[in-house]
Amino acid sequence: MTRSMPILSEPILVRPIKTEADYDAVLVEVEQMMGNVAPGTPEGDRFDLLVTLVNTYEDAHFPLETTADPISMIEFVMEQQGLTRRDLQPFIGPRQRVWDVMERRRPLSLSMIRRLEQGLHIPAGLLVQEYELRTARPGRTGHTAEVAA
């Protein structure tokens, strides 16, 4: 007995990103689509494909240093996406914890890293990099570690 092949979705017509002009044009299209397409629709599939192409192009042409400071990386993503520290609460925790982490007074935990990777699409490999923590001010209790692991 032969099983029939599943029905595939409609083909999506896209060109590879080969030049800076191609890259700029795709970024404009992705920005216009952002928040305006539903997943599982032809437009949503096109959006997913374009984002994948952009990520591949950026990885090849704008590689991030593997020694990037995790907090600086979070700040960069926040700026790019127009986020505030309040927007980090689902990933890091309550307001005070977000403040402590972003002020480098508390290290990122593994669960925070996982949520940031899932929610903000920051590679965990960048978030697990060691970085210096600020020591507590004299007369105050708190984290005094010099380097977060």
Split at pLDDT 50, 70, 90, the class of 7 is low
pLDDT class of 26 with cuts at 50, 70, 90 = very high
Give 10 or 119, the one with higher predicted confidence: 119
Last residue of a domain, one of 33, 61, 89: 61
Tell me the average pLDDT across 113-130: 92
**pLDDT attached to residue 117:** 94
Q: Are residues 143 and 100 in the same domain?
A: yes
The answer to whether position 125 is within a domain reads: yes
Average pLDDT, the chain: 85
Q: Hey, which bits of the chain come out as E strands? A: 131-132, 147-148
Pick the more confident residue, 95 or 6. Answer: 95
Q: Are 111 and 118 in contact (CB under 8 A)?
A: no
Beta-strand ranges (E) seen in 18-111 are none
Phi, psi of 131 (to 5 degrees): -150, 155
Domain boundaries, position 127: 70-148
pLDDT for position 137? 60
Maximum alpha-carbon separation in the chain: 78
pLDDT of residue 145: 41
Q: Is the pLDDT of residue 131 over 70?
A: yes
Shared-domain flag, residues 130 and 97: yes
The whole-angstrom separation of Cα 80 and Cα 64 is 15
Distance set, CA 120 to CA 10, 27, 123 (Å): 29, 18, 9
The predicted-structure confidence for 59-107, as pLDDT tens digits, reads as follows: 888 776 555 689 999 999 999 899 999 999 999 999 999 999 999 999 9
pLDDT at 114: 95
How many domains does the structure of the chain reveal? 2
Is 123 within a domain?
A: yes
The answer to whether 105 touches 142, Cβ cutoff 8 Å, is yes
CATH number for position 143: 1.10.260
